[in-house]
Amino acid sequence: MPFPFYQVDAFAPARFQGNPAAVVPLDGWLEDSQLQAIAAENNLSETAFLVPAENSVADYELRWFTPTVEVALCGHATLASGFVVLNELAGDRDNVTFESRSGRLAVGRAGDLYTLDFPANPPVPADDQLDAAAAALGARPEALLQSGGFWLAVYDREATVAGLVPDMARTAALGGVGVIASAPGERADVVSRFFAPQAGIDEDPVTGSAHTVLTPYWAARLDRPALQARQISARGGELSCRLDGDRVAIGGRCHLVIAGHLHV
């Protein structure tokens, strides 16, 4: 049984940068085991599945799978899903809404910029785990915070974040969604890296959902709502972030790399 299949580089200044996500539109939900098997076959950090929503004000239901688990929220695969809907499935519109485990999410288009509307997740101090985080990441952060299952390790310099060589077993043992390492940037307001070995992703190239934590933290620390962010993974990615009350707008560019059919 063939299904449409798209691979999109999200939060990417150009093709082969940012974070690649697979997007699979379906007419109805397959068994969870099939969804997980497809994600494992794709072997990308996330595969997004979308189904037309019924009896809902949202346009689609949306779910995300890593190669090993289903996750509650994924930014780059949501951005990629919005890109696919607005360019391949319904090109006559500039916004789309999704219903998900994390509530109602939206993607809007303005020119070549696609923007997520996500809930903000302000972090709170978690200093009791500071020693464990230092051992996991290989360098002691100046502060450790937590929000929504994300750990946020804050450093004073970009070079320290860039040089981290985490112990993945210890990082996984911290639990939760994963660990964000962040610092003030040299060519952007904020830089970060994200590690989630417990979800089958040692280092994620670009993590939109992590910026639901980073944006409120750095907006408060820098005393301004709008930020330019860079995720300094090997592929690298760029994000425009704005805090708006209890919501975060996270913008980036997308590039279609593969389009075809998936046979199940």
pLDDT one-digit tens code per residue, 167-189 = 999 999 999 999 999 999 999 99
Residues 111 and 171 in one domain: no
Residue 47 domain flag: yes
81-93: average pLDDT: 94
128 and 113 housed in the same domain: no
Q: What is the percentage of the chain residues whose pLDDT exceeds 70?
A: 100
Query: What is the span of the domain harbouring residue 189?
Result: 124-233
Q: How many domains are contained in the chain?
A: 2
Please check whether residue 109 lies inside any domain of the structure: yes
Which tens digits make up the pLDDT trace of 207-247?
Answer: 999 999 999 999 999 999 999 999 999 999 999 999 999 99
CATH code for the domain of 140 = 3.10.310.10
What's the pLDDT tens digit per position in 126-149? 999 999 999 999 999 999 999 989
Q: Is residue 173 domain-resident?
A: yes
Whether residues 79 and 173 fall in one domain: no
Catalytic residue among 31, 46, 99, 186: 46
Residues 17 and 75 in one domain: yes
Pair 143, 91 in one domain:
no
Residue 90 lies in a domain: yes
142 is catalytic: no
Is there a single domain that holds both residue 104 and residue 9? yes
Shared-domain flag, residues 109 and 129: no
- How many residues in the chain? 264
- What share of the chain has pLDDT > 90, as a percent? 96
Same domain? 90 vs 24: yes
**In a domain? residue 65:** yes
pTM passes above 0.75:
yes
pLDDT in tens, 45-61: 999 999 999 877 899 99
* Pair 200, 256 in one domain: no
Q: Tell me the C-alpha distance between 148 and 152, whole Å.
A: 11
Q: Is residue 245 part of a domain?
A: no
